[in-house]
Structure 1
């Protein structure tokens, strides 16, 4: 049972979220407090030490980021609730921070709770929060890759290629490092998109800027000395992209 605090300045949204949680996760979530401003939120989090916090970004006297900067206790799972548009949603994905779009959908809420159950105890990384703030203000240049050992901040230009295997994806970086995350490549395909990145195969996504050469037969030679196949269905769009980039 997750001791949960809801931080939201609109009463109707607080009530709707509470009812939804009772419906989709009655055995997993126990709401212990509500807050509608930064001051209340900081006090409640520090005193009650929740397991889970739902937090709106825009509050009456500040933002959710102000809360996160002021709290002393930070060992909890965080789910932002937001009405941001699609370009900003990508910022959440780049920063590896969970979120729910308003109006909140009950099925998406249920899935978010299920994701938490698969995670170990969570300590919020200040780097993730800082990256999110930066990414919300401009086009992201870095991505956070969370693993069981640590969360890695990687510049997009450092990524040579990605290779997926089942529900795992390995990122190959230009300094020789390999970082494996427990998410399928589909999760990153919308973030690593053309013209800089291209998914040449069901199992492979590559950085166009790291290509050494490619053949009409369907092989790409990358600058980490790897050879990546181009699937039959991707050849036409890949060759067109390369022609446009020339």
Structure 2
């Protein structure tokens, strides 16, 4: 089993100690804490010197931010999990940017899940476009989403999404320009981000952009602008028809 050299970057001692104890309890055979940092300057020096496998980093530090750390380091081949006390708007910014995070106070089960997730990730370096999107999304209502695949990170405007279709633990995004982007996450992961009135979960396997609806029938089929037909589940018919009347 791989042991991850880990640095915790957090300027509150109470939170540093709590996270350390939780890591020792949940992943004693996986996590080796090699250092702690409280400031941007200290974090940059430790990361470049120790070359960790995993970094837990608070966004707000006493002399700057986690973004300042990422801009100054020369070694960046590590898994990164932000820790944040931000509210729902900022949490959505993380989700839109496809960046891993833990919400304070940190939940033990969510911490365990985050550690298990890094074991299957090939990507160890946050791409600049992800960080740029996160910083942008923290300051406004997000209008774009990052879709991570094995090949690349795709930045997609929300109004370019026609529909999403899920199959098992995979979701395919169908875009206005004809592209299909498949991500290895179930549709549930995106349902909270693609919300009414612009988007609607019309079926267990389908979520649609209502602005891309061409027609719909009382029998329960919707035609989209990409000429596809999407079924309306029985339990969603009433709310979908009400939404479309409101939109129209």
Alpha-carbon distance in 2 for matches of 1:228, 1:89: 30
Q: Give the drift of 1:31.
A: 0.6
Q: Equivalent residue for 1:167? A: 169
The 5 Å alignment of 1:55-204 reads 55-204=57-206
Alpha-carbon distance in 1 for matches of 2:225, 2:211: 9
Q: How many residues align?
A: 246
Alpha-carbon distance in 2 for matches of 1:238, 1:80: 37
The 5 Å alignment of 1:37-48 reads 37-48=39-50
Alpha-carbon distance in 1 for matches of 2:181, 2:146: 11
Alpha-carbon distance in 1 for matches of 2:144, 2:70: 21
CA-based RMSD of the aligned residues comes to 0.7
TM-score by length of 1: 0.99
**Unmatched tracts of structure 2, length 5 or more:** none
What's the CA shift string for 1:31-61, capped at 9, x where partnerless? Answer: 1111000001111111111110000010000
Give SS of 1:157's match. helix
Alpha-carbon distance in 1 for matches of 2:70, 2:188: 30
Alpha-carbon distance in 1 for matches of 2:162, 2:51: 41
Q: Give the drift of 1:216.
A: 1.1
Alpha-carbon distance in 1 for matches of 2:25, 2:186: 29
Give SS of 2:241's match. helix
Give SS of 1:152's match. strand
* Distance change in 2, residues 1:97/1:226 (3 Å): same
Alpha-carbon distance in 1 for matches of 2:113, 2:9: 20
**Range moving further from structure 2, 93-102 or 117-126:** 117-126
What's the CA shift string for 1:15-35, capped at 9, x where partnerless? Answer: 110111000000111111110
Q: Give the drift of 1:124.
A: 1.3
Alpha-carbon distance in 1 for matches of 2:154, 2:30: 30
Moved over 2 A (4+): none
TM-score by length of 2: 0.98
Q: Give the drift of 1:103.
A: 0.8
Q: Give the drift of 1:72.
A: 1.4
Matched, 1:36 2:9: no
